[in-house]
Amino acid sequence: MLSVAVLISGAGSNLRALLDAAADPDFPARIVVVGADREADGFAHAEEYGIPTFMVPFAQFGTREEWGAELGAQLEVWRPDLVVLSGLMRLLPRDLVDAWSPRIVNTHPAYLPEFPGAHGVRDALAAGVAQTGASVIVVDNGVDSGPIVAQERVPVLPGDDEHALHERIKPVERRLLIDVVRRVATGELDLAAASANAAH
């Protein structure tokens, strides 16, 4: 059984989907802890499932490195097999990425490498593209630049605003994320191999 820590910043709707999937006894992974960099609404989903939470507020630390060191210490308590960044809106410091890579994945609401960064949906709309997408990547030290392990296209429809488009992308993200966690758990997806291939 794969143990998973999920890190969030916001509503945690993708976290919710993962929790619902993991509640199925046949699902090969379990969420062991949910962490956040702020008082995130998504904690409510973890609490509903009786899953422990921790918070490492960015504002309480002088530097990204100090914040990351505490985040890493919290993760060490749970020693998950996999860390999922599910809407964590902070860049992780290099030491933390190096400590967990390749056992750390991130979901992103765009078809990477298109539209990386904090505003993937807004940027796709501003670019006027006919389609965008959703991606799951292994986290590396760049901004949404790690090896892509799953992605799918989502059309941009006439009249879409950022909210409407994001709400259409999210179900795709959820499906991809759940499938990636399942495939890592079963050994179908080898994150180390995916990362090594990307490096060559």
Bridge-based pairing of strands 104-108 and 82-85 is parallel
Binding flag, residue 10, ligand GAR (CB under 6 A):
yes
Q: Give the three-state DSSP class for 151.
A: strand
Q: Which residues inside 53-92 make contact with ligand GAR, applying CB under 6 A? A: 86-87
Which residue lies nearer to ligand GAR by CB, 15 or 180? 15
The answer to whether 80 touches 33, Cβ cutoff 8 Å, is yes
Residue 180's nearest CA partner among 107, 119, 95, 96 is: 107
CA 32 centroid distance within chain: 15
Task: Mention every residue, 6+ apart, whose C-beta is less than 8 A from residue 88.
Answer: 7, 8, 9, 36, 37, 106
CB of 178 to ligand GAR, least distance (A): 12
Q: Is 151 in the site for ligand GAR (CB under 6 A)?
A: no
- 15 versus 178: smaller Cβ distance to ligand GAR: 15
Does 108 qualify as catalytic in the annotation?
yes
The yes or no reply on residue 118 touching ligand GAR (CB under 6 A) is yes
Site string for ligand GAR, 17-36 (x = CB under 6 A): --------------------
Helix (H, G, I), strand (E, B) or coil at 144: coil
In the complex, least distance from residue 108 CB atom to ligand GAR, rounded to whole angstroms? 5
If the CB atoms of residues 87 and 102 are measured against ligand GAR, the closer one turns out to be: 87
Question: Phi-psi region for residue 47, left (φ > 0), alpha (ψ -120 to 50) or beta?
Answer: alpha
Total binding residues toward ligand GAR, as defined by CB under 6 A: 17
Residues within window 164-183 making contact with ligand GAR, judged by CB under 6 A = 170, 173
Q: Which of 108, 119, 163, 166 is catalytic?
A: 108
Half-sphere exposure of 155 (CA within 13 A, CB side): 3
Residues marked active site are found at 108
Question: Which spans of this chain sit near ligand GAR (rule: CB under 6 A)?
Answer: 8, 10-15, 42, 86-87, 107-109, 118, 120, 170, 173
